[in-house]
Structure 1
Amino acid sequence: MSTYNLESVEEMAGGDQDFLKVVVQTFIEEIPPDLEAMNEAVAADNAGMAYQYAHKMKPNLQMFGLELMPQIKVIEEWSKSGTAKAEVEEAAGIISNKVRAAESELKKDFEL
């Protein structure tokens, strides 16, 4: 079973495999550095910066069917309401694990 779902991406690509590959390549290039920056912000107790990176990644995570919205919401809420740090760290860990697994699978599946 795959950690990602390309249904939305395939719909957007409309059968254009080159476009599909470009979208996957862009995900692989842009999301890991954003993820790293979000994790650094969480570690540094910088809720505002963590919010920015979580929010920036949200459309891509949704588009790739990673089902991480509850965890993204925890990080976004942290900057507004001061969610408990343990909850934020747990959410960031879940996001990290799932994104890294999807990145690895996408690289293999698309031979990138």
Structure 2
Amino acid sequence: MKKMTYDLSQIKNISDNDPDFIKMMVDTFVKEMPVDLERLAAAVVEEDRVNVHRFAHKIKPSLELFGLKGHQQALVLEAWTKNNGPEDLNEDFMKLQQELEETLIQLKRDF
């Protein structure tokens, strides 16, 4: 069995463990994250600093809320937009994408 990639403890804490609220948060994450991830992917490929920043910044709170390690990659992507260096974002983006894809599969299975 695969290890859980997500941690709902923060959501449970802010909702007083309300199952309806938790389900709503999961449903929203599952619905919106693939769209944001796709937009972030396009921005990374195009080296579009404005949109890399926009989408990395947008998904960061959700990554934190769901206890995902990809939060670190989002920080790297966001920081890249402030630098003028030609660092390769592909590795950080691929780690983030892999974790999110696994998390989305797990959340769909679990909820």
CA RMSD of aligned residues (A): 1.1
Contact 1:74–1:83 under 8 Å retained in 2: no
Compute the displacement of 1:70 (Å): 2.3
1:73-110 Cα offsets, whole Å, 9 max, x none, are 21111111134342x11111111100110000000001
Specify the code of the residue in structure 1 equivalent to 2:75: K
For 2:65 and 2:81, locate their aligned partners in 1 and report how far apart those are by CA, in whole Å: 24
What's the counterpart of residue 96 of structure 2? Answer: 95
**TM-score (ref. length: structure 2):** 0.92
Please state if 1:82 is matched with 2:81: no
Contact 1:77–1:83 under 8 Å retained in 2: no
Unpaired stretches in structure 2, ≥5 consecutive residues:
none
Matched length: 109
What's the counterpart of residue 59 of structure 1? Answer: 61
Q: 2:12 aligns with which of 4, 7, 10?
A: 10
Unpaired stretches in structure 1, ≥5 consecutive residues:
none
Compute the displacement of 1:16 (Å): 1.1
What's the counterpart of residue 48 of structure 1? Answer: 50
The structure that is helix-richer by fraction is: 1
1:26-68 Cα offsets, whole Å, 9 max, x none, are 0001111001100100001101101100100000000000022
